[in-house]
Structure 1
């Protein structure tokens, strides 16, 4: 626990030094040591770091095997198992955690089908161990040793994480997984993680981190932002360093709840406080980029996109696309930072395409699709690429409580619409006008002008057959219209519209460009 505390307070080397002497004899020292290396690997995304973390986690698993029976309990009576030494139960939960983390590394490291099958087997084995341990603990047949609270915390973390993660899967996939024995109950998962986070056990900080990640990033990205926030959980895990992972996530939390000007100072302080792991900086850079985007400070937002494109390996295609997008928002006569040209940057975007767990991130695929427009010798510029990508990341909901920010976005859209009307017709004209209508509808909704918002969404729907490239505009307009109806208490109409949107998503052309939060919105209604 001391080593974890050091890690969360940015004393990374000291944390590893504290653990290293006993990694070959203690299952918990081995597990936490490997976990720290895995977190580093996932942030750096470097092949050597991923390989090193995988080997270390395998060694940790072997230590667990040497201290426990490491087999499924399905063939063992719980009463009989309660006679085994208490250390066996700890070995089981550590082994399950090793299996799960090795599976994650397998998905990141290799994209072939054999690796996916191996990773899937590790996930299933891990889940079965957690499930049997959970059943054993609930049956009250488990002898409670002095470290029982840590065992319960480990099981709460495992079962909670599985339930929460699986609940985010599309309903059809979730039904198949449940048929195979998995469980995807979101509320149950969250309750277990809350229990684990509020207790004083080895995994309490990990449970709190997972909750913070869920409430700050996932609910916001998927468009299913919830009102309940984990601020009280954070209070039980105070860390002294302002740039600790907890504080970074709490700053994101403040940003998500109300994008305020103070958020900029908070993230900048986070970057100054430590230099050991630059990957923590990247989380701050990403948030700072969006802070300045909401304020329409295009050059400052470009600066952070440029830093990310140079330092982060997670999605270079996205970062380069955002650099080009910000430059395209500047007046033609205005000098570009570092002498860069947006057309050349847009053309480079496809060259940075990558896959994570065998799949390209949806937003990255979308950026590549939009950047193709600049391949032509005389490209036709995108009207508002920054605002379009901002919508993909649910940004218009972020500024809904800041009237001055919404007003600024509306002014940008009005100017872009005027430019489109004054320009000669081309093959992208209808698509661009529909995009402007969709985004103006979101601004009207933020301003409480619901009738005007409805008219904008309907303008997109009336142009459905004329749209040639951006087919995602129709299902997204349907979803936004249905949410508008929900706000007005027109639930039956909203459900009818959502069913239509669901049919549009089944269209292969539309599916290729869908926005991330669209699936989350529809899932929450059905």
Structure 2
């Protein structure tokens, strides 16, 4: 029976692409199999850039069918994670609550957390519809976890979100261990794989708290579950593949060491390439510019021009185009895309500092006046400040003085915050070009006859970024000297205290590259345990966690 259901769903998957509907006919009645098929069609409409049609297909039944409810909320969650706008997040949250209510109506009445395993072990008579309801309910709760992350990067939000979604995690664990749920393998693998992968990314101090209330995360197991789910030809196969792609690109870059497996990511998506629209293809093959930073622009521009319905996809492309120009130090073009985004205001203004006087005049803006306005323009999501903008406000305070002190290579500093040096470092010519810019700033600071109170901080920033370039160029001894120079200046730093723990982390990675894993662990652990309350602390702790995990099992000592 399960094979027949899967076959019909897969045929629907093909039909939705081969016979594009001008108007998708709504079903006059809704049984479970029809619901799965319509949800599959809606998913494929999304992949083909037909977002309104997907919502129209799901809307008539989303309060009466668990799969329609799940699909409808998933699209709104996708929209919220693209915009980061408060109203979209609130709308998605409200929809998820309604979807949970819909799914709850189909669950077994006495199927509650903690009793599910016992029910299965006693061979309770769960009907097929009730089994599906458990999986759909768990996936809706997983969406709540996603929005919790989008709302706030602060570590405490992970704990709050974790407590809220423990039900979902427990359902997936019970499903995984139950023979009764084997026909729902695709959904179980997506859920248990995503949870294990997500939890494995959390810093140890948070993970210990979550383990206390029953969570655990195994990255290897999570990845294996998602790989199996991606190859299962089920309703959720493409979602497993996209989750792996997202992990191997954005997540590994922003929250890890930038060592994602891009070959695997593209191989997993290969079976779906002919069925993904021109709009979404650049976002799957090039979800991150690691996939081809200097060849991706044309594809992003094609993505923008191919549809006008979802501006959120345009914003993703603007974001990537901003960075591709930044990596090549094309500051005026990078400013253009930052201005189009208008999301993190700091990105718009930091490019002013990198442009020539002639380019600045063309913008018609007063940079000093703009920076004085920064603190008042700070945005909040769900009552929380965005960490990047907190960082920007701290930087802008030097413009409140009677004699403002310009920032030093701020675009390169922000590039580092977003782990961009990991990308640029893959090309020696681009890294050399960045090094020239950094050494020019270094010389200007060195020749300053009237240093300000910000001079030690600026000098340490320049040395840390210089060390990064040298490390990627293989000049490891010179890189080490730059990093140790920053550390020796710790007592002189007045404002940018984040430079010390970040430099300790980078020096640890340098020793890892040299093969001295003991020394690497010592420096990274120092950054982890001996510093707190600095800018971008959460971001560094995610990277530290990833780095220490990569050191586990490595040979001890210097080879």
Q: Which contiguous aligned blocks of 4+ residues in structure 1 show a shift greater than 6 angstroms?
A: 106-111, 115-118
| Equivalent of residue 160 in structure 1, options 171, 193, 198 | 193
Question: In the alignment, does 2:89 pair up with 1:66?
Answer: no
User: Residue 256 of structure 2 contacts residue 546 of structure 2 at CA under 8 Å; is this kept in 1?
Assistant: no
The match for 1:217 is 250
Matched, 1:490 2:516: yes
Which residue in the other structure is 2:6 paired with?
A: none
**2:93 aligned counterpart, secondary structure:** helix
The answer to whether the aligner puts 1:338 opposite 2:372 as a matched pair is no
Change (3 A) 1:351 1:8: farther
Structure 2 residue 552 is matched with structure 1 residue 512: no
**1:252, CA displacement in angstroms?**
2.9
How many residue pairs end up in the alignment? 500
Aligned partners of 1:116 and 1:212: how far apart in 2?
22
Describe how 1:311-390 pairs up with structure 2 within 5 A. 316=343, 318=344, 320-332=345-357, 334-356=359-381, 359-390=384-415
1:70-127 per-residue CA deviation (whole Å, 9 max, x = no partner) reads 623633342434532122110111122223334655787899xxx9999655412222
Aligned to 1:242: 278
- Structure 1 position 342, deviation (Å): 2.2
Q: Distance in 1 between matches of 2:123 and 2:431?
A: 61
* Residues 437-489 of structure 1 deviation map (CA, whole Å, 9 limit, x = unaligned): 11111111122111111111111112111111111112222222221111112
Distance 1:92 1:408, change over 3 A: same
1:524 is aligned, of 516, 531, 547, to: 547
* Deviations, residues 176-214 of structure 1 (Å, cap 9, x unaligned): 211211121111111111222221112222222222211
1:164 CA displacement: 1.2
Equivalence for 1:131: 173
Tell me the CA shift for residue 226 of structure 1. 2.6
- 2:299 is aligned to 266
Scaled by the length of structure 1, what TM-score is found?
0.88
Structure 1 alignment gaps of length 5 or more: 310-315
Give the direction of change, closer, same or farther, for the CA distance of 1:479–1:249 in structure 2 (3 Å limit). same
Distance in 1 (alpha carbons) for counterparts of 2:517 and 2:151: 45
* Equivalence for 2:128: 86
Q: Please report how far the alpha carbon of residue 46 of structure 1 lies from its aligned counterpart in structure 2 after TM superposition.
A: 4.3
Q: Identify which range, 360-369 or 211-220, moves more after superposition.
A: 360-369
**Offset at residue 300 of structure 1 (A):** 0.2
Using the alignment, how far apart are the partners of 1:194 and 1:358 within structure 2? 37
How far the C-alpha of 1:217 sits from its partner, in A, is 0.6
Q: Map 1:14-413 onto structure 2 (within 5 A).
A: 14-69=53-108, 71-72=111-112, 74-75=114-115, 76-81=118-123, 83-102=125-144, 122-136=164-178, 140=179, 142=180, 148=183, 151-229=184-262, 230-238=265-273, 239-244=275-280, 246-253=281-288, 255-260=289-294, 262-309=295-342, 316=343, 318=344, 320-332=345-357, 334-356=359-381, 359-413=384-438
CA deviations over 1:36-76 (Å, ceiling 9, x no partner):
12322333344444444334333332332222216236333
Would the aligned equivalents of 1:22 and 1:30 in 2 still touch at CA under 8 Å? yes
Distance 1:180 1:503, change over 3 A: closer
Deviation at 1:129, TM superposition (A): 1.8
CA offset at residue 292 of structure 1?
0.5
CA contact 2:131–2:181 (8 Å) conserved in 1? no
Residue 114 of structure 2 aligns to a residue whose secondary structure is helix
Q: Report the counterpart of residue 312 of structure 1 in structure 2.
A: none
TM-score where L is the length of structure 2? 0.83
Partner Cα distance (1:243, 1:46) in 2: 22
What root-mean-square deviation, in Å, do the aligned CA atoms of Structure 1 and Structure 2 show?
A: 2.6
